[in-house]
Amino acid sequence: MPRRGLAVPRSVCYKRGLDSPACLGFSRASGGCMSSNGLELLDRTVGCGEVSEADAEAGREVVLTGWVHRRRDLGQLIFIEVRDRTGSVQVVFDPSENAEAHKDAEQLRAEYVVGIRGVVRPREQPNPEHPTGMVEVRGHQVALHNRATHVPIQVDDETEASEEIRLKYRYVDLRRPKVQQPLFLRHRLGRAARGVLDGQGFVEVETPMLTRSTPEGARDYLVPSRVHPGKFYALPQSPQLFKQLLMVSGFEKYFQFVRCFRDEDLRADRQPEFTQIDIEMSFATPEKIYGLLEEMVATMFAEIGVKIERPFRRMPYDEAMRRFGIDRPDLRFGMEIQDPGDSVEGTGFRVFDGAIDAGGMVRGIVAPGAASSSSRKVLDGWQEQAKRAGAGGLVWIKLEEGKISSPALKALGEERCKAIAEALGATTGDVALLVADSREICERVLGTLRLSIASELDLIPADRWELCWVEDFPLLEWDEDAGRFVAKHHPFTAPRWDELDKLAEDPGSVRAQAYDLVLNGTEIAGGSIRIHRKDVQDRVFRALGIDEEEAEDKFGFLLGALAAGAPPHGGIAVGFDRTCALLSGCESIRDVIAFPKTTSASCLMTESPSAVDEAQLKELHLKVLDPGPSDKDKEGDR
């Protein structure tokens, strides 16, 4: 059964067309042959969106190929807008000019695939709203390449179907210019980046998609081996080790546009498979990497007509945390975390004193101009957010003309409240927000509030681009669940050479030679100088709780390579999807991926993942222990 009720005449019409020996063209009710078999109209001479006024003045004959975007049938005159990826243009069929073409055009409907020959003319009634609205094509010949009997969603930039429907019928959704544009930009950004890398002598080398699972990091996607019963390949989370090995092999400068796979829960900016521009160079220093990336990023920005100032700003990790409460600060606006200094000391206010006595601190931010708009409900909302982020509470001080309000007014008194708010930089009309807790919690909570309040108050300028290197990350961080240190970047990141000796006694204090590139609060690239000496790698593995045996078992090839004359090296990887999303103004990376997956990592179009035959499983030596709901059980859902 068809998905929607098809009116009989149309499906009859469709069948008739296919029955015709030359189904590429029209079948006439008379039974006569079509004016064209269509093949001669496969050769487009100009894109629909590229038909120009010069063409009109010259009265140029053109051939268009594309889809019927809109039909305006006035009975005698028929207007057809033809669309291809370059845009659309109006074709007019006038029976007094070409009766045969007009008769053919009567049968055209939305999304039919056509070739049209005609002559470009200036319009009698131009439409300045439309890019090609000054001209039209007088239609002289039509070839119908295909009809469209099931078009589940309208191909229209104005009306948007739900994302669920759009993903299911992605091949139709992708016809919409608005949906195509980000993918075209993605192509141009990729080309720009490649051009810079190629120009600097980088060589693109492919690395395996079927590789081995390694500990640390994200959950792997596994591929069962048919030949080796019970063994599995893993899809790469990144080509990290391979690119290091290429350095050992003397490739000097490597890059790759590479798909990476991580089996973790999805977000607007996370897909299970995503693309990195992976880069590695021998004898690298952070300076060399920064220089390369800055040229690359500036070249990519040039594609959207934005000039980027170089060199980019740099900020140590500690400073980013102190001022912005996050390791990827959004520098498009202020509202930095402030230290109220001695204004909060010795107040007798339990919240403040308690935190300070416990070795913690009091920190705050100012929501500028928020006094009048911050109702009790708004303030409660902020408080709620602060608690969710880990704070015990949130102290607010509202400075209004001649009036100060705060839940701490009683405990602190009006003068104190005013002094504290002013110590944070607040003036009349502002709201000061304070958190008293450990350093980590103060930073995390205020960092979270800073972003959400700025967005709420519309304080983030949409047209600014703020790039920043964040450097001097800690090498390791304590993992409460695992009860051990884990690598903040990855286990092959070099410690600062001058802090190597602290690795054994105080691993948490060692800083890494790692760096992230942050654009408007999003991490778009991250990298490091790698460990190129086996003895250092051994020491880092030990700090991570990986003993010699496990290291040999899982990373033997790397250790072998480091012992075989590995040059100092380092690199970086750019999150290409995220970068494309930011530069094209898309909110989700799904919009810069042709066939993305949903938040449950399935593809609504192909209905993957799917069950497979018993025989296939057997061949792979697999048995499914816990079959989820079968596809049949899910039938009713959509």
Side chain identity, residue 342: D
Q: Supply the minimum distance, in Å, between the C-beta of residue 311 and RNA.
A: 26
Nearer to RNA, 265 or 614 (CB): 265
Contact 197, 296 (CB under 8 A): yes
Residue 61 or 160: which CB sits closer to RNA? 160
C-alpha–C-alpha distance, residues 56 and 382, integer Å: 61
- R_g of the chain, CA atoms, integer Å: 31
Q: Are 497 and 529 in contact (CB under 8 A)?
A: no
Q: How many CB atoms lie within 10 A of CB 543?
A: 20
Question: How near is the Cβ of 79 to RNA at its closest, in Å?
Answer: 3
Cβ proximity to RNA, 57 vs 619, nearer residue:
57
Q: Return the number of the residue (416 or 450) whose C-beta is nearest RNA.
A: 450
The two tokens of residue 337 are 């975390």
SS (H, E, C) 569-628: EEEEEEEHHHHHHHHCCCCCHHHHCCCCCCCCCCECCCCECCCCCHHHHHHCCCCCCCCC
Of 69 and 418, CB closest to RNA: 69
CB of 558 to RNA, least distance (A): 12
What is the nearest approach in angstroms of RNA to the Cβ of residue 133?
Answer: 6
Least distance to RNA from the beta carbon of 353, Å?
A: 29
Which residue type sits at 365? I
C-beta closer to RNA: residue 5 or 305: 5
The 3-state DSSP class for residue 190 equals helix
Are 138 and 94 in contact, with CB atoms under 8 Å apart?
yes
Distance (Å, rounded) from C-alpha 190 to C-alpha 440? 38
What is the closest distance, in whole angstroms, from the C-beta atom of residue 263 to RNA in the complex? 9
CB 35 within 8 A of CB 142: yes
Least distance (Å) between residue 139 CB and RNA: 11
Pick between residue 344 and residue 589 the one whose CB is nearest to RNA: 589
* Smallest separation, CB 490 to RNA (Å): 3
Least Cβ distance, residue 563 to RNA (angstroms):
21
Comparison of 10 and 439: residue with beta carbon closer to RNA: 10
- What distance in Å separates the CA atoms of residue 451 and residue 521, rounded to the nearest whole number? 9
* Nearer of residues 146 and 598 to RNA, judged by Cβ: 598
Q: Which one, 126 or 208, has the nearer CB to RNA? A: 126
- Report long-range pairs for 165-172 (Cβ below 8 Å, ≥24 apart): 167/590, 167/596, 167/598, 167/603, 167/604, 167/605, 168/604, 168/605, 168/638, 169/605, 170/594, 170/595, 170/604, 170/605, 171/605
* Nearest approach, Cβ of residue 319 and RNA (Å): 21
Q: What contacts 50, CB < 8 A, 6 or more positions away? A: 86, 87
Q: Is the peptide bond before 609 cis (omega within 30 degrees of 0)?
A: yes
- Are residues 312 and 290 in contact, defined by beta-carbon separation less than 8 angstroms? yes
